[in-house]
Structure 1
Amino acid sequence: MQQRSEANMPHTRDKASIRTGWEALGLPSSVFRRMCHQGEIALDNSSPSQQRFQALLFDCLCSSGREHPWDRMTGRSFRDLLCYFSWVAPQPDRLLIRTNTADRIASYLLPYTRVFSDGSHEHSGIPGMRVENFSARTIHLRHLPTGGALDLQDRTRSRDSRDMREGLRWELHVRAKSESEDRRSPAHLQPEPSLAEAAARKHWSHETSTFLRSALMVRSNLWFREQGAFLGRPRRSNASHCLRWCHGPSCEEVGRLLTAGPLRIPGASFVPPTHDGDVGILFRESAALELYTPG
């Protein structure tokens, strides 16, 4: 685990509480300090457009199996990409993900599209995603329809911007073969979203659950390391999704983390399961999302 020094902890009136949140998130102190504002951990201060993008990313990365309509890539599925993550951290204007293979992750997120003779279409990757820039260790991505930003930072410190560019070029070369066999073309090479990409707007439009799903994405360090979290169909008629996981903390423990203490979601409440096999419910305003673990 990343070495962290208590001397680097942000000054706060409740240092013990902040430390608890820091340890739960498992972030380097330099990254964590940028997330603290006025003695609190600022996890949900991003713009509404960035939150729409983060909710979209949550839907993709926590999708079950190959159920997401854009999960068409050969090899890894969207949910498989989580195994490459070291941590996830919201920054003031973007989401930062540390990974051991930033170029490979980027190649899976960039979109390819096939348009059929009847005008219908299919996507592989996230429609509207583009490479914005490269810097040392980092590939900067931008989701054009929402304006949301994602930085994929490689764990290898020696990689400069040229290494990142060449690494992505190779990964895209490898992916292009399977995509061309399926007759999908690289939409990510176009400067603006195509009409087929724009037609997927329902996936990033604002919904009552957008804030909750964005909040869960930026807190995904709490469960993605267990490699088992995924979105399933909800049981309750008022719930939009059900977040399920197979190992790690209990439903009650996660519910408490999300609604009390330094990592709480503003305005959220939690109703725990009443018996074995039941689901917990995470509420915020009119949005509801189920939490379930069989353990």
Structure 2
Amino acid sequence: MIICTNAAAKIASLLLPVCWTHPDGDIEFSGIPGLRVEKCDERGIVMKHLSTGGILELCESRRLDKWSSRFGLNREVEHHLHGNVRRKFCAASTYRDEGLTEHEEAMADYWADRPGTFLLSALMARNLIFWRHNNHKMTVRTPRRNRSAVRLTWLNGYSVDKIGDLLTSPAIGIRGAVFEPGRSDFLPALLRVDDDQVELDAPFAGHLTRLRRRDREIKGKS
């Protein structure tokens, strides 16, 4: 994934794994376990995830030389390590380690793939189609179906049918995604990829279902 930004060092410092040891021995972990800095130069910061081999490139839009870029990253990491809230804790950054640390391995289960991981990740990469509208009031709710990962609801923005069309379109669609409109006025639509599925629920979903039914009836009579 490639992200163009004017705050590459800031974003990287929040994504990189950091471990705090509290005075009572408890461990606090932030960031993504296994994420490492592959390269840091005038173009930006390249990070690699050890477990999956995934690459994230943060392209810096500002003009920085290699040393300024590295200094900026180190400064942001140090600020994150020794912020006011956690200054009294012993903090340790793992982003230069070549392998997974003991604490990262202990947290691995929290980041393991689960049903719906691919589909939810693909939706996050395309979230602008939901968030481009102010006051969209989008929420993630408990799904109605037992095989659904989540149920997405929103109050403003595109209709369910429009979202389904966009997510299955050649331009920005999710590879292998199939959109299934709601089967009744009270059931949300489904977005499926293989065995994963997410429910899409928004106002007027039932109204659109009635319109589709009426159109089919009109076509059947003609």
TM-score with structure 1 setting the length: 0.57
Residue of 67, 83, 104 corresponding to 1:197? 104
Are residues 1:159 and 2:159 paired?
no
Task: Determine which of 23, 26, 31 is the counterpart of 1:125.
Answer: 31
- State the Cα distance separating 1:208 from its structure 2 match: 4.0
Matched, 1:140 2:49: no
Partner of 1:280: 189
- Judged with a 3 Å threshold, the aligned counterparts in structure 2 of structure 1 residues 162 and 264 are, in CA distance, closer, same or farther, namely same
Equivalent AA in structure 2 for residue 181 of structure 1: K
- Contact 2:189 2:201 (C-alpha < 8 Å) held by counterparts: yes
Partner of 2:207: none
1:181 corresponds to: 88
Per-residue deviation, 1:213: 2.7
Where in structure 2 are there 5+ consecutive unaligned residues? 205-222
Alpha carbons of structure 1 residues 224 and 162: separation in structure 2 relative to 1, 3 Å? farther
Aligned residues: 199
Cα offset for 1:100? 2.6
Alignment of 1:80-119 (within 5 A): 95-114=1-20
Among 73, 76, 85, the residue aligned to 1:171: 76
> Could you say what secondary structure the match of 1:265 adopts?
coil
Q: Compute the TM-score of the two structures, normalised by the length of structure 2.
A: 0.73
Partner of 2:173: 264
Deviation at residue 225 of structure 1 after TM alignment: 4.4
Equivalent residue for 1:289? 198
Cα offset, 1:122, TM superposition: 3.1
Distance 1:215 1:193, change over 3 A: same
Aligned-residue offset at 1:169: 1.5
Amino acid at match of 1:170: R
Q: Percent identity of the aligned residues?
A: 34
Q: Secondary structure at the residue paired with 2:58?
A: strand
Segments of structure 1 that go 5 or more residues without pairing to the other structure are 1-94
- SS at 1:181's partner residue? coil
Flag the 1:285–1:176 CA change in 2: closer, same or farther, 3 A. same
In the alignment, structure 1 residue 149 sits paired with structure 2 residue 58: no
Shift of 1:234: 2.7
TM-fit CA distance, 1:239:
0.8
SS in 1 for 2:67: helix
Q: Write the distance in 2 (CA, Å) between the matches of 1:167 and 1:144.
A: 23
Q: Report if the CA contact (8 A) 1:145-1:198 is conserved.
A: no
- The superposition leaves residues 193-217 of structure 1 with CA deviations (integer Å, 9 ceiling, x where unpaired) of 1122122333443444233234324
How many Å separate the matches in 2 of 1:135 and 1:249? Answer: 40
Deviation of the 1:226 alpha carbon: 4.7
Tell me the residue number matched to 2:117. Answer: 210
CA RMSD of aligned residues (A): 3.0
